[in-house]
Amino acid sequence: MIEIRGLRKAFGSLAVLRDIDVDIADGEVMALIGRSGCGKTTLLRCINFLEEYDAGEIRLDGQPLWYRPGADSRRRRVPDQEARRMRQQMGIVFQQYNLFPHMTALENVSLGPRFSQKVAAAEAEDLGRSLLARVGLSDKVDAYPAHLSGGQQQRVAIARALAMRPKVLLLDEITSALDPELVGEVEDVIRSLLSEPIMMVLVTHALGFAREVAHRIAYIADGRIAEIGTPAEILEQPSDPTLKDFLRRIR
């Protein structure tokens, strides 16, 4: 499970995360919703330390991540090598796919296991093939990203994240950049993961999809979790006035 306590983050004088407290249980799927700029993507990026944060604590299965208390009561970043090891327990999928353009689909997927986890080349390749098969891209193993559709690229990106065998999958608006007709194939892949014990945190504007796959939805406003609950609670009986307004606008 993931425990987040007192998470704060500012970009200069702009406070983006003010005081985030939230737990994500094993196997739970948590959706983060909110207006653009509310801090939901920043929260996601803090979880796997693509963003540093100013205060607070993040624990994964009880293990404190990213910072250690220093001798002088000031915290210190964990050494880079340790941060890399911690980060391998989490996979992230980005809005813009972020595939490596000079590598085939298979190379994109095998790269992490091969060089971060020192898996033998043949084994990493087998893993890559089986994951690409899993996301329905067996026939695109040797294709370069430039020759794949957005939906296919995003499925490769999901396979690449899964290749690290993460405990958590972080999904950052993964269908926002896609043409509408390609959204379904990517959502299908996420649906197929629901039977796994993997935790998922998804930042999304697709409320229908969030309602379908998430156990809980957290509505973030102004750097805080303004409301959190089951999809039915959040989407049908919202109590926060800004959430009511947000839902009206987005529908």
**Which spans of this chain sit near another protein (rule: CB under 8 A)?**
48, 50, 80-81, 84-85, 87-88, 90-92, 94, 96, 98-103, 111-112, 115-117, 144-146, 157, 160-161, 163-164
The residue (of 172 and 185) whose beta carbon lies closer to another protein is 172
Smallest separation, CB 186 to another protein (Å): 17
- Distance from C-alpha of 20 to C-alpha of 225, rounded to nearest angstrom: 6
Smallest separation, CB 246 to another protein (Å): 27
The residue (of 109 and 207) whose beta carbon lies closer to another protein is 109
- Distance from C-alpha of 124 to C-alpha of 106, rounded to nearest angstrom: 9
What dihedral do alpha carbons 197, 198, 203, 206 form, nearest 10°?
-50
Smallest separation, CB 87 to another protein (Å): 5
The residue (of 171 and 225) whose beta carbon lies closer to another protein is 171
Smallest separation, CB 76 to another protein (Å): 19
The residue (of 160 and 216) whose beta carbon lies closer to another protein is 160
The residues that bridge with 199 in the sheet, in sequence order, are: 168
**CB-count burial class (<10 Å; 0-12, 13-18, 19+) for 39:** buried
What secondary structure, in 3-state letters, does 144-191 show? CHHHCCHHHHHHHHHHHHHCCCCCEEEEECCCCCCCHHHHHHHHHHHH
- Distance from C-alpha of 20 to C-alpha of 43, rounded to nearest angstrom: 9
The residue (of 68 and 85) whose beta carbon lies closer to another protein is 85
Smallest separation, CB 159 to another protein (Å): 11
